[in-house]
Structure 1
Amino acid sequence: MFDDITSELRALMPELRGRLIANASLADITWFRVGGPAQVLFTPADEADLAYFLKRKPRDLPVFVMGLGSNLLVRDGGVAGVVIRLGRGFGEIKIEEGGRLRAGTAVPDVKVARAAAEAGISGLAFYRGIPGSIGGALRMNAGAHGRETKDCLIGARAVDPEGNVHVLSLADMGFTYRHSAIPETWIFTEATYQGAPGDPAEILKEMDAVAEYREQNQPIKERTGGSTFKNPPGHSAWKLVDDAGCRGLRVGGAKVSEMHCNFLINDRQASGEDVERLGETVRARVKAKSGVTLNWEIIRLGSPRPGAAVGEALAILDNTVDQAQS
């Protein structure tokens, strides 16, 4: 448990309209269902409320932002400072003339795909296959089935750490593979997309195909964080993991999915450390087998339990993981 600083924050920002919760469980709102609490969980009412909070908060107070928690691994010691989770004030979708769609960054990607389809806007059906929110899609240039966010985005809005609102063009985003050049301390609040005219029935059929592919090839009904590692240039992460003999590998309550081995799953009440140790063990074995270094696609947040290691120091380099943890 962290010290409760919510009263101090409210005193600094009397006009705040959003909700502050002390020692809020993050395991309850992340897909892995692991990890410690947030010292403070803040849900702003809208963009203006978010900007007000950032302008008034103490300069040395750490701030992190999360979306649906689908691509996030929270460590067992929790997160000191404030975790911002965008809610209803960032959940609106607007259909505009000329095949444009505007969405708040708390909107799930699948909901944007569905809204575009119903409006006869093609080009966003690939979002049906991404298990996250629009904020995460902007941060990581999320993509699937041959398309990426950069292929349909025309602009976005974000708030910087000082509470200044920025209107960003596609060029400003600096998109590369699973990366945006916008500082990680900026919080996206809205995105605008450009699609093309399409037949709603055909778009929905395309979305159904995406959904069917996911169900047949990915462990979407498990407690997982989605794709664990980025594809290295010229390689598929899942193939490297498989070739290193890691399909089905287990550490404690965490396991490499046998359906798709670029997914880690929590199938036996795993801890955050179990999941991270498993991921680092996979990385070490892939490096030893192929010479390729896998980089995490999942974001790891917070501190470990007292005295525990993090990162590469967690890797199990011998075979004890197979014998003792299976």
Structure 2
Amino acid sequence: MPPFDGFQDFVRVDVPLAPQVWFRVGGPARFFARPRSLDELLALLDRARQESLAFKILGGGSNVLVRDEGVDALVIQLESPFFSDVSIDDNVIKVGTAVPLTALISQTARAGLAGLEILTGIPGTVGGALRGNAGSRQGSIGQYVRRATVLDASNEVHVRERDDITFADRSSNLDEPVLLSAEFELTHEDPESVVRRMRRIWIIKKENQPYGHQSSGCIFKNPAPDVSAGALVDQAGLKGTRCGGAEVSDRHGNFIVAHPGAKAADVLRLIDQIQQRVWQQFGYELELQIQVW
């Protein structure tokens, strides 16, 4: 009997993942599912565990590099209305983790709620932003979180209050298998002022970072609060370096562009070359910020 017999209406087999990730490279998922409710998600995870099949959650695909051989697992994408609801009550906004971060920022700005505009230009979904404490020099998403609703390894739903959540530099202790929703507490402000700040941040980022598909978010974590991974790559003279179809962006050293025809193996070789050069020249071990599947 196939592992997901009875789930055919929302589980597919051998689904290409390249169209789902920003790099536009990589092989297929053995199984791919978009559950339409919490009940469907729970049933799906129960079946995966019964079959001893690993699962991965795919958000916006901006921080994922899929290997050329693909993923021998169940890949789940939470994008139905159930996982992307947004509600505002005074200065508190509750949002599903499948919501694109850009959409959340725009909606809060229009509602006259300030805070999240500092994240303008950061790709991905709310779930990925929470897990990795997405941020910029102005601050990070974690400082605005009131609570998060999560699904633990036993398929139990829990609400984690702010005092129980730790946010650090591009990381958090939100390590449960699935993040379902979060609440943010923001500040009332004139919508036009918030939107103006958004535009200023966007203009600066657009000038200094590659945007659009065939790239991803930042490849490496900054090795220290005052040490930029991008600056190290730049100082090592690696901007414009190519491995096959993968190239270090000439705009920002912490981005890799996958040109048409590139393979995931090209990106991985280039990552390895960057890590070796930066270690040899500066003594820093660059840790990946993206996930490699």
- Shorter-chain TM band: over 0.9
Q: CA deviation at 1:8?
A: 3.0
Which residue pairs with 1:26 in the alignment?
A: 17
Give the unaligned 5+ runs of structure 2.
none
The equivalent residue for 2:221 is 230
Q: TM-score, normalised by structure 2?
A: 0.95
- The question of whether the paired residues in 1 share the 8 Å contact of 2:26 and 2:65 is answered with yes
**Residues 222/80 of structure 1: CA separation in 2 closer, same or farther (3 Å cut):** closer
1:51–1:164: 8 Å Cα contact kept in structure 2?
Answer: no
Q: Which residue of 2 aligns with 1:155?
A: 147
| Cα pair 2:30 2:73 within 8 Å, conserved | yes
Aligned equivalent of 2:85, options 63, 84, 92: 92
Structure 1 counterpart of 2:180: 189
Contact 1:41-1:84 within 8 A present in 2 as well = yes
SS at match of 1:230: coil
1:311 is matched with none
Is the 1:109–1:131 contact (alpha carbons within 8 Å) kept by the matching residues of 2?
A: yes
| CA drift at 1:55 | 2.7
Counterpart Cα distance in 2 of 1:240 and 1:28 = 31
Counterpart of 1:92, as a letter, is D
The correspondence for 2:103, drawn from 104, 111, 114, is 111
Of stretches 16-25 and 246-255 in structure 1, the one that deviates more from structure 2 is: 16-25
> Do structure 1's residue 265 and structure 2's residue 260 form an aligned pair?
no
Q: How does 1:210-221 map to 2 (within 5 A)?
A: 210-221=201-212
Deviations 1:50-100, CA, capped at 9 Å, x for gaps: 123223333421011110001110001110120111112211111112x01
Deviates more, 1:232-241 or 1:44-53: 44-53
> 1:68-83 counterparts in 2 under 5 A?
68-83=60-75
| Secondary structure of 1:80's aligned partner | strand
Aligned to 2:126: 134
Any conservation in 2 of the 1:106–1:134 contact (CA below 8 Å)? yes
CA distance in 1, matches of 2:5, 2:88: 36
Matched, 1:43 2:38: no
Q: Distance in 1 between matches of 2:125 and 2:213?
A: 19
Residues 3 and 47 in structure 2, CA contact (< 8 A), matched pair in contact too: no
1:9 is aligned to 2:9: no
What is the distance in 2 between the residues matched to 1:146 and 1:109? Answer: 16
Q: Secondary structure at the match of 2:169?
A: coil
CA 141–19 in structure 1, closer or farther in 2 if over 3 Å, else same: same
Contact 2:53–2:74 (Cα < 8 Å) also in 1: yes
Task: Tell me which residue corresponds to 2:138.
Answer: 146
Change in 2 beyond 3 A, CA 1:171/1:18: farther
Q: Residue 59 of structure 2 contacts residue 98 of structure 2 at CA under 8 Å; is this kept in 1?
A: yes
Q: 1:113 to 1:265 in 2, by over 3 A?
A: same
Change (3 A) 1:189 1:263: same
Equivalent residues of 1:55, 1:162 under 8 A apart: no
State the alpha-carbon separation in 1 of the partners of residues 263 and 156 from structure 2: 38
Q: Matched residue pairs, number?
A: 290
1:18 touches 1:45 (CA, 8 Å); kept in 2? no
Choose the corresponding residue for 1:243, options 213, 235, 238.
235
Amino acid at match of 1:93: V
1:176 is displaced (CA, Å) by 1.1
- Any unmatched runs of 5+ in structure 1? 302-326
2:189 equivalent in structure 1: 198
Query: TM-score scaled by structure 1?
Result: 0.85
> Deviation of residue 231 (structure 1)?
0.6
Where do 4+ consecutive residues of structure 1 move more than 3 Å?
none
CA distance in 2, matches of 1:270, 1:249: 14
Q: Deviations over 1:24-60 (max 9, x none)?
A: 1100110000001000011111223212322333342
AA of the residue aligned to 1:297: Q
Contact 1:25 1:37 in 2 (8 A): yes
DSSP-derived class of the 2:167 partner: coil
Q: Give the CA RMSD over aligned residues.
A: 1.6
CA distance in structure 2 between the partners assigned to 1:186 and 1:272 by the alignment: 25
Q: Aligned residue for 1:278? A: 270
Q: Give the distance between the partners of 1:80 and 1:222, measured in 2 at CA.
A: 24
By how many angstroms is 1:249 displaced?
Answer: 0.5
